[in-house]
Chain A
Amino acid sequence: MNKKVPLYGLLVAVGSAIYVLENFVPFPVPVPGARWGFSNMVIVYALPTTPLSWLLALAIGKAVIGGLLSGRFLSPTFMMGAAGSITASFSMFLTFKIFKRVGLVFHSVIGALINNLIQVIIGAQIISSWAILSYLPYMEMLAIFSGVVNAVMAGILLKRVKKGVGLR
């Protein structure tokens, strides 16, 4: 248990860093505050070995610290990121418990789909118009992309660190 704290701290740090760097990557769909969601990579990485409580702590941690670092703490953008991340972690945890014969990509893509769905819903609230719901299919297309990227990156990392410093 004690050994885990610094490891999760590290994951929060990496997640926050990706969160901040992500701000510089242009997002092709004009939904206010929407983002790629690459910082969920750390959650995918932790998914196979982490209980739900720690997973959620990770999601909240990276959203808060990433938000503070990019000066967006408690802004609507931050809320979208946090809500997306939390629900994504939760749903990935569920699929991981339920589906046994699937790969990491499955969970990651489901998480990304849910993440972007939440972002669109909250984005619609921010501009008080459901018109941007028409962007949902595009957002979900991008979610598949970032979901696969996250899973592949996290998966490669998981295989590499299997014998070294891991989360177990």
Chain B
Amino acid sequence: MRNLKIFARTDIILILIVTVFLSGWLTFSYFRPTSNKAVILVHGKMYKTVSLDKDSTFKIFWKGVYLMTVQIKSGAIRVVKSTCPLKICVHTGWISKDGQVIVCVPNRVIIHTEGAKSTSYDLMTSQ
């Protein structure tokens, strides 16, 4: 039985190295752009999957009828214009986190993000 040490100098070095490595990893993963996408459903069917990493603006048509204009900018997506009366979808504003959703009931359009940083909740209860 060799002499037992609780803390040796090497131990401190190990802890330091691991801590520095972990901090670096955390910082790196914090600043790394996540590869996000948004899924657009129209009338319950998959309409389009778009990457949120490329800024763009495009229009959604259903059976030749214009429904809305959607914009993607710096990892977030929003509805700019819509033919619906309430404009709830426009007022929802930007969404960027996993689990967030833009819904346009009159036009039957659902836009939700995927693979992004998640929201702090699974579900939202609202009126």
User: Direct contact between A and B in the complex (CB less than 8 angstroms)?
Assistant: yes
Which A residues are within 8 Å of any B CB, using their own CB?
48-49, 99-106, 109-110, 113, 134, 137-138, 140-141, 144, 148, 151-152, 155-156, 158-159, 168
B interface residues (Cβ-Cβ under 8 A, vs A): 1-2, 4-8, 10-11, 14-15, 18-19, 22, 25-26, 29
Query: Interface residues of B: mostly helix, strand, loop or mixed?
Result: helix
Would A156 and B6 count as touching, CB distance under 8 A?
Answer: yes
A159 and B4 contacting across the interface, CB-CB below 8 Å: yes
Known A100-B2, A138-B26; further 8 A-B contacts with Cβ < 8 A: A48-B4, A103-B11, A104-B6, A105-B6, A105-B8, A137-B26, A148-B15, A158-B4
Which of B7, B14, B22 contacts A137, CB < 8 Å? B22
Whether A168 contacts B1 in the complex (CB less than 8 A), given A134-B29, A137-B29, comes out as yes
Known contacts A113-B18, A134-B29, A137-B22: does B4 contact A102 (CB below 8 Å)?
Answer: no
Measured CB to CB, the nearest residue on chain A to B98 is: A131
Q: How far is the CB of A37 from chain B (nearest CB, A)?
A: 16
A148 to B4, CA, bound (A): 15
Chain A hits for B22, CB < 8 A: 137, 140-141
Residues of B within 8 A of A48 (CB): 1, 4
Known: A141-B22, A151-B6. A105 touches B1 (CB 8 A): no
Bound-state CA distance A155–B7 (Å) is: 9
Residues of B within 8 A of A100 (CB): 2
- Chain A residues closer than 8 Å to B19, beta-carbon distance: 141, 144
- B11 close to A106 (CB less than 8 A): yes
B106 to chain A, nearest CB (A): 34
- Shortest distance from the beta carbon of B48 to any chain A beta carbon, whole Å: 24
Q: Using Cβ atoms and an 8 Å threshold, which residues of chain B touch A105?
A: 6-8, 11, 14-15
